[in-house]
Amino acid sequence: MTEKAWGGVFDEATDRRVEEFTESVSFDRRLYAQDIDASIAHAQMLAKVGLIRDDECRQIEQALREIREEIEQDRFQFRSELEDIHTHIERALIEKIGDAGRKLHTGRSRNDQVATDVRLWVRSSVDRIDSRLVELQRAFVGRCDADAQVILPGYTHLQRAQPVLAPHYWLAYCEKFQRDRERLADCRRRTNVLALGAAALAGTSLPIDRAEVAARLGFDGVAANSLDTSSDRDFLLEFVFVLALIAEHLGTWAEEWILWSTAEFDFLKLPQAFCTGSSIMPQKVNPDVLELIRGKTARVVGNLQTLLVLVKGLPLAYNRDLQEDKRPLFDSFDTVDASLELAVPLVAAARLNRPVIAERLDRGYLDATTLMEHLIRRNIPQRTAHELVGRLVRKAVDRGVRLLDLPLEDFKEVHDDLDKSVYQVLGVERAVAAMTSEGSTGPEQVKKQVARWKERLKESESG
Ligand code: ARG
């Protein structure tokens, strides 16, 4: 009897190099638990429709549970000639219980197993990433009260632009990660569909009950078209895309905090437990964790590219190329999961260097735009107001002073209608306080948003 799951038609033994080249068990062994869960559900369905006997089903379940323990306790022997995790588990089952084990593969294909196991794995991985994102949002929201009064410079082109309340920064990241959570939920919907029963590509003539298997495995439904299902890896690409976007969002945050922790900015003190030093420069405390979060984004984005190229132009239905989907999938998950694990304590523990931030807020004319808006409110056309404030900034720059320091004559000189009320919007505190539009950094708006976020995160605690 050949060891292969497909040996019958072959006269020649497989070349050793082919076995090495085609194996996937070195990486798909990670799916062992999903494979066993799906096989148990499949066996129970086979018994229910009468394709196997109840006692055979019990033997199969019992033996599969033993195999699970052996794998978990590192007592299971893996060998590349058995190709993948699915064949390993089935082979071990047959060794344990003989003919009952030889019935398990009734009405299913190996690709059925691959597709089903990966769907189960993606489903739980989506949930894991989602709960990490919630933790990260909690860490950002957790800073909001303590940092409520802190005003930071906001940037465009990395040039000082307008003043922004610190919680406005923290909630900006919460919003980005919230959209990622929505994308995860959407991806989960399409993932959580039963593939098993598509068989090789055409379905089966045996009286299987797919709805029964779907219910046992917690899938919301059954995939409609066997030809589509056996070739479909969309759900996995979607997940890797969402992971890439999360990595991009983390990378933006990491870059910002790397900058803020430099001597040049000096806005932020990173906890030493999350920094590393230099082997040659004794004084160095480097933000390596943030740099690696930024750097690992490259691999996560690369994995998405790998998968898009992998499925490009594949004819229906299953092609062995698809075996190559697992490494990029696992790697993207592991990388983003690890990055999030570190991002959470970093966000919670970093400290804003308030005196330095405050002392430099006068630089960069952060109140110029609010001054322009004050002029607009006095019925001066926006284009004119922009021009006039530009001239005022020019004067202030030439004299090395703030807009606030210009005497009233200077304001009057650019426009007769201006009076001492201009001073009500000058200075960063007043410029921030003047903000009122929905979603702006004005204190009322930010307060509302912080409350909204606290409420939202309370909800996701329960569900
Ligand atoms: N190891 C293969 C994979 O992961 C199993 C699918 C095998 N199907 C086949 N027709 N060769 O894709």
pLDDT digit string, tens, across residues 383-436 = 999 999 999 999 999 999 999 999 999 999 999 999 999 999 999 999 999 999
**Is 254 in the same domain as 383?**
no
| pLDDT, tens digit, 9 for 90 and up, residues 70-123 | 999 999 999 888 999 999 999 999 999 999 999 999 999 999 999 999 999 999
Catalytic site includes residue 131:
no
130, 184 in Cβ contact below 8 A? yes
What's the rounded mean pLDDT across residues 140-148? 97
- Assess if residue 2 is contained within a domain: no
Residue 56 lies in a domain: yes
- Flag whether pLDDT at 291 surpasses 70: yes
In a domain, 1, yes or no: no
The CATH number given to whatever domain includes residue 71 is: 1.10.275.10
Q: Is 83 in the pocket of ligand 1 (CB under 6 A)?
A: yes
Same domain, yes or no: 252 and 399? no
pLDDT tops 80 at residue 349: yes
Q: Is the pTM of this model over 0.75?
A: yes
Could you give the percent of the chain with pLDDT greater than 90?
A: 94
pLDDT band at 463 (very low <50, low <70, confident <90, very high): very low
> Does residue 23 line the site of ligand 1, with CB under 6 A?
no
Q: Is the pLDDT at 327 greater than 50, yes or no?
A: yes
- Residue 159 pairs in a beta bridge with 156
CA 333 to CA 285: how far, in whole Å?
Answer: 29
In a domain, 211, yes or no: no
Each residue's pLDDT tens digit, 360-381 = 999 999 999 999 999 999 999 9
The active-site residue, picked from 157, 205, 279, 462, is 157
Name the domain boundary from 359, 378, 404.
359
Q: Tell me, yes or no, whether 140 and 242 share the same domain.
A: yes
Tell me: do 80 and 117 sit in the same domain: no
Residue 176: pLDDT above 60?
A: yes
Based on the fold, state whether residues 86 and 117 are members of the same structural domain.
Answer: no
Say whether both 256 and 389 belong to one domain: no
Query: CB-based burial of residue 24 (10 Å sphere; 0-12 exposed, 13-18 middle, 19+ buried)?
Result: buried
Instruction: Give the per-residue pLDDT at 461.
Output: 62
Structural domain for 121, as ranges: 111-206+219-359
Q: Which atom of ligand 1 is nearest to the CA of 83?
A: 1
Measured from the Cα of 320, ligand 1's closest atom is: 12
For 303-315, the pLDDT digits (tens) are 999 999 999 999 9
Residues 440 and 404 in one domain: yes
Q: Are residues 201 and 281 in the same domain?
A: yes
CATH label of the domain that carries residue 455: 1.10.40.30
Judge whether 26 lies within some domain: yes
Number of domain units in the chain: 3
- Residue 6: the pLDDT is 85
Q: Per the domain annotation, does 213 fall within a domain?
A: no
Tell me what pLDDT residue 190 has.
Answer: 98
Catalytic residue among 26, 124, 131, 278: 278
278 is a catalytic site residue: yes
Boundary of a domain, candidates 106, 122, 150: 106
Give the C-alpha distances (Å, rounded to integers) separating 243 from 30, 39, 290: 19, 29, 17
Nearest atom, ligand 1, residue 23 CA: 1
Q: Which of 106, 140, 174 is the last residue of a domain?
A: 106
Q: Would you place residue 2 in the very low, low, confident or very high pLDDT band (cuts 50, 70, 90)?
A: low
- Indicate which residue's Cα is closest to atom 12 of ligand 1: 323
Judgement on whether residues 312 and 405 belong to the same structural domain of the protein = no
In a domain, 183, yes or no: yes
Residue 460: is its pLDDT beyond 70? no
> Could you tell me if 345 and 428 lie in one domain?
no
Q: Identify whether residues 139 and 267 lie together within a single domain.
A: yes
- 214 part of a folded domain: no
pLDDT at residue 34, rounded to an integer: 98
Looking at every residue in the chain, the average pLDDT score rounds to 96
Share of the chain above pLDDT 70, in %: 99
Confirm or reject: Cβ of 110 under 6 Å from ligand 1: yes
Instruction: Give the tens place of pLDDT for each residue, 190-209.
Output: 999 999 999 999 999 999 99
Residues 192 and 328 in one domain: yes
